[in-house]
Each structure stands twice: as structure tokens, then as C-alpha cells.
A and B are shown apart, each in its own frame.
Chain A
Amino acid sequence: GIQVEQSPPDLILQEGANSTLRCNFSDSVNNLQWFHQNPWGQLINLFYIPSGTKQNGRLSATTVATERYSLLYISSSQTTDSGVYFCAVIESASGTYKYIFGTGTRLKVLA
């Protein structure tokens, strides 16, 4: 099955800093979604981005499907950005619509 790896596994930032999170996947995908899991465990949808670039406020994401990676950019980070960031993909060859989640990036933003 498809492998989904995220880097870095852990990241500590000072408030106001920028960061780039990466998601690599081993096979073709139909769908890709980025989530933020807050300290209370709620998975919050950030982007549905199987290809191309999207922006929402301080966050933006780019997926290059042909090269099998996606990037999540966080600018001017805030303490509320802390938590775990997951990418999740649907493998094109699977014939199904289940998400395979990546390994996650644990982000801590210091005041």
C-alpha cells in the first residue's frame, strides 16, 4: 500500500516565525487533505488540495502530484498553531475512498 511520510517529525518555533511542513507519498493519489489536530484532539480541516496551490490567511499549501509531495506553509506563527499537522491521501489505485494518514508533524510555537 501507499506510504505517507511527513517531515520534520517535530518542530519548535518562536512566535512570529515561518515554517514549511512536507508530506511525501509513494504512489499516485486522487485526494490529499491537510489537517491540524489541536491539543484537545480535534482534527481541523485546513486544505483539500489534490493538486495546485491554495491560501487561507497565514496558511498556504501546494501539492505537486506528479512529484508526489505536498507542502504546508505557516507564516507568522502563533501559539494557537501548536498541535500536530497531518496530511492524508487517497491512493488512486486503491479503488476506494479511505484516507491514509501520514506520520504527522508535531509543532510547538513558543510565546
Chain B
Amino acid sequence: GAGVSQTPSNKVTEKGKYVELRCDPISGHTALYWYRQSLGQGPEFLIYFQGTGAADDSGLPNDRFFAVRPEGSVSTLKIQRTERGDSAVYLCASSPFVGETQYFGPGTRLLVL
């Protein structure tokens, strides 16, 4: 079946703009995770959802970052007033239930100019 998909694959924006990144998990997966990966580093946790609710958002760097999953499937990561330091690859993963194998999407490469 289809894997995790993320759109857009690349996003270039200007400092101060608002961006939305979308994640479509594997069908039937109840848990969804967001990570961020900077060049040369391992992925770092941002937030995860169990169903519609954010179970742990401790990795969000500040209140400019927000994520939703209103129907328990697709999730959107929203970044307000983007800064150059937000430039990274944003990765989404899903698992059948929390604590099970996580399957990653291809990522969205965000560049803030």
C-alpha cells in the first residue's frame, strides 16, 4: 500500500512569512509524528498525535510552531513568522499505534530566505 506522503516536497519562503506543511499517514495508522532534521544532524522530535489529540508537543521550539490533525488522519504543521533558522527538512512518520514501528515520509525541505 501507499507509504507516508508529504507535501510540498520543497518550499522556499521569505523571512516573516507563514507556511503550512502537510502529512498524509499510512491509512489506518493512529499515531503520527513530526520531526525536524538540520543538515548533518539526526532528526529531532517536534510533536506526536494519538488520534486527533497532540499527546506530546514538547519538541516544538516556540509558539510560532503549531500542528493539527483534526480528523485523525492528515496532519498540518504550521509555522508563523518564519525565521532563517527554521530552514531544515521536516519529516513526518506514522505507526499503527503508539510505540510501534514508525514509517517515515520523504520530508519537506524548507528554505527560509
Which positions in A face B, CB cutoff 8 Å? 30-31, 33, 35, 40-45, 48, 86, 88, 90, 96-104
Contacts and interface: CB of A to CB of B under 8 A. Distances in A.
Nearest to A50: B99
A31 B42 contact: no
Secondary structure of the A contact surface, majority rule: strand
Interface in B1-59: 31, 33, 35, 42-45, 48, 55-56, 58-59
Interface residues of B, number: 25
Contacts of A30: 99
Contacts of B103: 45
Nearest to A30: B99
B106 interface: yes
Given A35-B104, A96-B55, A97-B31, A43 B99 contact: no
Nearest to A101: B42
A45 B104 contact: yes
A107 to B, nearest CB: 15
Contact of B45 (A42, A100, A102, A104): A100
